[in-house]
Amino acid sequence: MKDRETVFQEDQIDLAALALQADLGDCRQTGSDLSRCAPHLLHLQHSTQSAVLDRYRELRGLEAAVAVDQFLGKAQRQESYGIECHPVVDSKGRPWTVAVGPSSIVVTNEFTHAHTR
């Protein structure tokens, strides 16, 4: 059984590849030059870039509309879908995160986790 982190990473690679297919169509590059296909992904680690490009190549021939549909379906199943995170500091200067979702507000720091509706 795969752990949550592995599933999360695989989903992120799939989402990136589907976004490329929807935006750019088929990757026509040979080799592993991601900068020509998707320069906006260059901030990723090399191993992740390679995984995205490999997955992107597997999607060759997939129509843009189908890629968009698959992207949205996968994105909606993500645990963090629809949640906006806002970094804040309290009156003592300690960092917190306020996460606003469709049905709740979550306030967290590195030591606590409190739900507010």
Q: Are residues 47 and 97 in the same domain?
A: no
Q: Are residues 72 and 105 in the same domain?
A: no
Q: Are residues 71 and 97 in the same domain?
A: no
Which CATH number fits the domain that encloses residue 11? 1.20.80.10
Q: Are residues 96 and 40 in the same domain?
A: no
Q: Are residues 90 and 37 in the same domain?
A: no
Nearest-angstrom CA–CA distance, 117 and 103: 7
Greater pLDDT, 41 or 84:
84
Domain of 102 in residue numbering reads as 84-116
Indicate the SS3 state at residue 35.
helix
Strands 113-116 and 105-108, sheet pairing: antiparallel
Q: Amino acid identity of 23?
A: D
Q: Are residues 95 and 59 in the same domain?
A: no
pLDDT above 70 coverage of the chain, percent: 76
- Give this prediction's pTM: 0.64
